[in-house]
Amino acid sequence: MDTQKQEIEQLQQRLTQYNYEYHVLDSPTISDFEYDALMRRLIELEEAHPEFKTADSPTQRVGGQLLEGFTEVAHTVQMQSLTDVFSKEELLAFDERVRSSLGTDTVPYAVEMKIDGLSVSLEYENGRFVRGSTRGNGYVGEDITANLRTVKSIPLRLKENLPYLEVRGEVFMPRQSFIRLNEQRESIGEALFANPRNAAAGSLRQLDSRITAQRNLDIYVFNVQQIEGKDLSEHIESIEYLASLGFKTIPEKKIFIGMENVWNEIQRISELRGELPFDIDGAVIKVNRFDQRQVLGVTIKTPRWATAFKFPAERRESKLLDIALQ
């Protein structure tokens, strides 16, 4: 029996690592064929020894149960929204307010893509994924844990057993998956999704997680909401730490001082748009240092230490999309 337990635990660890390499690092080290064979072996062993089938085993991503509805989740830390700016003048005004509140001209900003998806909260206890929820109104969201477990770039087990961690990320559907999904729906006469964001929202709100599992959703994590067992003092450090835990974090971890440099980065991100495999609708500019964020504080709904520079809506040349928009 002991050897069976060892074989199961070793397979769980190996398949967790292979899943991480494929879905988070996008650099697999074994073939799909080998991965599938190992997964079939683990499923077989766990069926024979259910006492070793742990909730965070790689075989446990798709639940069997059909939900009646979604229970509510009260967010301990509000999931704030961002103020939007649409011009360089408005961006400069944001910076002016930040610098005068801080009484300094040295404000390091993090600038990152604004993923056009759904904001979600992920909670981990002792390093294990225990709950996932939608943003809702920022205070109360819906429990979509079973559906988020099917997103392969969401770790079920962290590389450190932190007592508690809550992170925030944006779930999205890659554009190719969106086009394929609409082609499938068109072929069976179902209504099409208007855009990848709506398709991701519809996929996360399924009562049957087996349907969610087929939608090829992905996620970028970009904020620590709450953490026990680790001190963090700035945004970039927190993102690098989340990456070390096994999360797929928002790309581009650079700091900029001075709004000309920030503006150039926003332009660079805007030029990236056409070649990204997913939709972005802007860039997010955040004060990097948490002590400076503390001084700036938050308003009812939005932080004073961040803003979103919005890009104009993209015109996508695609027949399916035109049908969807009719």
Ligand X SMILES: NC(=O)c1cnc(OC2CCCC2)nc1N
Secondary structure class of 166 (helix, strand, coil)? strand
Using CB under 6 A as the binding rule, whether residue 219 contacts ligand X is answered as no
Q: What's the helix, strand, coil split of the chain in %, to 5? A: 40, 25, 35
Catalytic residue among 5, 53, 88, 114: 114
Distances (CA, A) of 195 to 126, 267, 283: 37, 24, 19
What is the amino acid identity at position 39? M
Mark residues 177-216: x for contact with ligand X by CB under 6 A, - for none: ----------------------------------------
Cβ proximity of 26 and 6 under 8 Å: no
Using CB under 6 A, which of 250, 259, 285, 287 touches ligand X? 250
Q: Which positions from 49 through 88 interact with ligand X, judged by CB under 6 A?
A: 80, 82
Q: What is the nearest approach in angstroms of ligand X to the Cβ of residue 264?
A: 18
- Specify the length of the chain in residues: 326
Using CB under 6 A, which of 95, 112, 166, 218 touches ligand X? 112
Instruction: List Cβ neighbours of 317 (8 Å cut-off, separation of 6 or more).
Output: none
**Closest listed residue to residue 320, CA positions, set 203, 200, 192:** 192
Q: How far apart are CA 176 and CA 170, in angstroms?
A: 18
Stretch that binds ligand X, among 42-50, 58-66, 69-77, 108-116 (CB under 6 A): 108-116
Using CB under 6 A as the binding rule, whether residue 11 contacts ligand X is answered as no
Distances (CA, A) of 185 to 75, 182, 247, 304, 320: 35, 5, 32, 42, 10
Q: What is the nearest approach in angstroms of ligand X to the Cβ of residue 279?
A: 10
Tokens describing residue 305 = 């230490």
**Shorter beta-carbon distance to ligand X: residue 19 or 119:** 119
Using CB under 6 A, which of 73, 284, 287, 320 touches ligand X? 284
114 is catalytic: yes
Q: What is the nearest approach in angstroms of ligand X to the Cβ of residue 305?
A: 8
**Shorter beta-carbon distance to ligand X: residue 113 or 245:** 113
Using CB under 6 A, which of 46, 142, 166, 170 touches ligand X? 170
Q: What is the nearest approach in angstroms of ligand X to the Cβ of residue 222?
A: 4
**Shorter beta-carbon distance to ligand X: residue 60 or 225:** 225
- Locate tokens 């104009």: which residue? 312
Cβ proximity of 149 and 61 under 8 Å: yes
Stretch that binds ligand X, among 22-30, 45-53, 91-99, 112-120 (CB under 6 A): 112-120
β-strands 84-85, 306-310 pairing: parallel
Using CB under 6 A as the binding rule, whether residue 303 contacts ligand X is answered as yes
DSSP state of 313: P
Q: What is the nearest approach in angstroms of ligand X to the Cβ of residue 289?
A: 15
Q: What is the nearest approach in angstroms of ligand X to the Cβ of residue 114?
A: 4
Q: Is the sign of the CA dihedral 272, 276, 280, 285 positive or negative?
A: negative
Secondary structure class of 5 (helix, strand, coil)? helix
DSSP state of 318: -
Using CB under 6 A as the binding rule, whether residue 292 contacts ligand X is answered as no
Using CB under 6 A as the binding rule, whether residue 114 contacts ligand X is answered as yes
Size of the site for ligand X (CB under 6 A): 14
> Which residues form the catalytic set?
114
Chain positions contacting ligand X, by CB under 6 A: 80, 82, 112-115, 168, 170, 222-223, 250, 284, 303, 306
